[in-house]
Amino acid sequence: MSMKFCRTAALFSRRTFAWQKSLSICKLRYLMLFGFLAGIFISSVSASQRSNNDTLYFLGNKNIAPVVYLEGSKPSGVAVDIVRALAKHIQKPIKIKAMDWQEAQRLVAQGEADALIQINQTEERKKIYDFSDPLLESQFSIFVLTDRVGITGISSLRGLRIGVEAGGLPRQLLEKNPHIPLTIIPNFLDGFNLLNEGKLDAVVVDYRVGSYIIAENKIRNIKVTGEPIAYSYSSFAVKKGNTEMLNAINNAMHLIKDNGTYQKIIGKWQPKEVVFHTREQITQMVYKIAIPSLLFLILIAGVWMITLKKELIKRKAAEDKLRKQYSTLSGIINSVNAIVFSVDKQYRYTSFNNRHADIMKMIYGVDIKHGHSLFEYMTVNEDMEKSKRNLDLALSGKQIVEEAYSGEELRTRHYFQVSHSPIKTENEEILGVAVLAQDITERRQAEEEIRQLNIELEKRVADRTAQLEKMNKELETFAYSVSHDLRAPLRSIDGFSQVLLEDYYEKLDEQGKNYLQRVRSAAQRMAQLIDDMLNLSRVSRVDMRLQEINLSQISREIAAHLHEIQPERTVEFVIQEEIKARGDDHLMRIVLENLIGNAWKFTSKHQTAHIEIGLQYQNNVQVFYVRDDGAGFCMDYAQKLFGAFQRLHASNEFSGTGIGLATVQRIIHRHNGEVWAKAEVEKGATFYFTINKG
């Protein structure tokens, strides 16, 4: 029996129990029999209704563990568990599939599946899908090798090789910056392997996903650095307009959040924290051990001096040993090409290397000494405030890594990559702070020079672009003027030739008549070329009015007109329904008239023809196309297609002036799009175009 029958039977039993005191045993038996039969009827109706319902398909990306992924052949992950919890509150059965992400998005966009599991919202996706209430929070973080420093956010990624997933939000954010070269990785495990091999400088991925992959695959030498480049809430997505499915998902989400199921699932899949030691951390651990040991030996030496005065030989030996250890430590910190020093809780120097002493001399003009406070030597208030803030944070137990500067601006200012680490005993008592810094002044100066060069280059490009635009406008004006002025004499040539043929027809021999006919034909062809040039010029100058247009409807009107003017031809048009775009209605009609007209013309040598107008998606971009099975062309000459007056067929074979495709290209470029073609001789051609791209 179904669960619904069980609930009905239970409800009936409770009510029956309440009535037992007032009913006779006989009546009670008849009533129970009636309830049993009613329950069977309700159960059968429920089963019948459920069998008639269609299964809902929820699709997810198979490569984003632990959110959605394949465990063997079975979907798994936090989002999958949430879907299974939702299924208990949605009336229809749900089937979950983890698959190729591009294919999953296509299936839902075309209505062949019901919902996408865990997808981030973008303006482009909002045109295709409706999104549910928030599902999961994503923190898109930067993963680097543990010994990598200096990466704190998006601005520090300039010039580095960054690995991102093909269809994710990090790619859409980072590709807006032309100075950040991106590498598309097939999956994040391969991305982390490329990072370890030195083929990438960083990988940007949701922290939940990245930490899980690192932990599960026992990948070492990788850490998260800086702040996340973006925070985002992912959602379920359904096909645009599928309000019923969206409401069902949101209602079920509210139910599992209210009853605590959602929070239990999130708790089960908490990100796995993975921490590996960097070389700097290892060095700092050495300091944490060496400096307390040194202080402990000093304390022992002091006790010996007070209580064991008679044991001078032992004391001297201990002092010699202490000097050797201190000399060894000094030699180590003086040998590194970095600034190293330590202070106690009162900010007094306990050690420093020669590099730090030289920098303090250069910036503040002082000679530092052990036992004196660091702040005795600083003469710039801003430097003192920043240094005290970081030292206090380290004395509270935190490790601070940042870029900073010291000294007066335009004179002695230097830039550093600085690490502040607390010095602790084995009992976690904080004794002071160890500071390790690298002078990055030259690097910052080089970056500033590059930035200034980029600004200058961008200005030059802008100036050159403005010059080219001015020249293009002048050329268009010239072409328009010349074309307009040529039409009058051509009309005269054609008109007088017609008069000669009509008035002197009997006086002309056949050769003369032929010459005049050829003159008229040439004049008319020249007039057509001039008209096409004027149309091309107008396309570049007309103001655009952007609105939503139905390309399917325009295509049907053009096809109907072509059938009217040549009803004897057998041509099948296949036009995809509801192809919509945002553009100028008049100009896009010209584009379709040229492309469909070309398909009609170049299929004219065939007894039957097939012309298709449709829309497809490539990397989430709308690509419109017009395809025919006509004469086609050789792709070796495809670069000539969109040039004015360029033709790939003889005029006696197919008529035309060679202006149509040039007009198409100019209109598409004005719509911030691209146009291209693919073809094969006698197997047809397909012309593709995009609009409003990027």
For 146-203, give the DSSP string.
TT--S--SGGGGTTS-EEE-TTSHHHHHHTTSTTS-EEE-SSHHHHHHHHHTTS-SEE
pLDDT band for position 208 (50/70/90)?
confident
Q: Which is nearest to 626 in space by CA: 641, 610, 607, 606? A: 610
> Percentage of residues in the chain with pLDDT exceeding 70?
78
Residue 26 has pLDDT above 70, yes or no: no
CB neighbour class for 576 (10 Å; exposed up to 12, middle 13-18, buried from 19) = middle
What's the whole-model pTM score?
0.34
DSSP assignment of 497-513 equals HHHHHHHSTTTS-HHHH
Give the lowest-confidence range in 244-258, 379-393, 485-499, 546-560. 485-499
pLDDT in tens, 541-597: 667 788 999 999 999 999 999 999 889 999 999 999 999 999 888 888 888 988 998
Q: Which is nearest to 164 in space by CA: 137, 141, 147, 145? A: 141
393 vs 296, more confident: 393
Q: Report how far residue 319's alpha carbon sits from residue 304's, in angstroms, rounded to the nearest whole number.
A: 10
Give the lowest-confidence range in 205-219, 464-478, 635-649. 635-649
pLDDT band for position 275 (50/70/90)?
very low
**Which uninterrupted H or E stretch holds 422?**
strand 414-424
Q: Report how far residue 475's alpha carbon sits from residue 477's, in angstroms, rounded to the nearest whole number.
A: 5
Buried-exposed string 416-434: b where 16+ CB fall within 10 A, e elsewhere = bbbbbbbbbeeeeeebbbb
Residue 221's pLDDT is 87
Neighbouring CB atoms inside 10 A of 5's CB total: 19
Residue 484 has pLDDT above 50, yes or no: yes
For the sheet containing 570-575, what is the strand order? Answer: 570-575, 608-618, 621-628, 684-689, 675-680
Identity of the highest mean pLDDT range in 7-16, 352-361, 404-413: 352-361
Q: Mean pLDDT, to the nearest integer, of 5-17?
A: 37
Residue 249 has pLDDT above 70, yes or no: yes
Q: Mean pLDDT, to the nearest integer, of 201-205?
A: 93
pLDDT band for position 276 (50/70/90)?
very low
Q: Report how far residue 651's alpha carbon sits from residue 601's, in angstroms, rounded to the nearest whole number.
A: 12
- Structure token pair of residue 236: 């379920």
Give me the amino acid identity at 304. Answer: W
CB neighbour class for 358 (10 Å; exposed up to 12, middle 13-18, buried from 19) = exposed
pLDDT band for position 227 (50/70/90)?
confident
Give the lowest-confidence range in 30-34, 265-269, 456-460, 581-585. 30-34
Residue 657 has pLDDT above 70, yes or no: no
Q: Which is nearest to 106 in space by CA: 116, 97, 98, 96? A: 116
Helices (H), 407-550: 441-503, 510-541
pLDDT in tens, 81-93: 999 999 999 988 9
pLDDT band for position 601 (50/70/90)?
confident
Buried-exposed string 73-82: b where 16+ CB fall within 10 A, e elsewhere = eebbbbbbbb
Cβ distance 671 to 586 under 8 Å? no
pLDDT in tens, 504-551: 878 888 888 788 777 876 666 666 666 666 666 666 666 778 899 999
Residue 688 has pLDDT above 50, yes or no: yes
Q: Mean pLDDT, to the nearest integer, of 182-201?
A: 91
Mean pLDDT of the chain: 80
Cβ distance 687 to 673 under 8 Å? no
Residue 13 has pLDDT above 60, yes or no: no
- Tell me how far apart the terminal alpha carbons of the chain are, to the nearest angstrom: 56
Residue 483's pLDDT is 64
Q: Which is nearest to 593 in space by CA: 625, 557, 564? A: 557
Residue 52's pLDDT is 42
Give the lowest-confidence range in 277-281, 615-619, 666-670. 277-281
Residue 76 has pLDDT above 80, yes or no: yes
Q: Mean pLDDT, to the nearest integer, of 76-80?
A: 92
323 vs 284, more confident: 323
Residue 39's pLDDT is 44
Q: Report how far residue 287's alpha carbon sits from residue 332's, in angstroms, rounded to the nearest whole number.
A: 11
Helix, strand or coil, per DSSP, at residue 645 = coil
Residue 19 has pLDDT above 50, yes or no: no
List of residues 6+ apart from 634 with CB closer than 8 A:
648, 679, 681
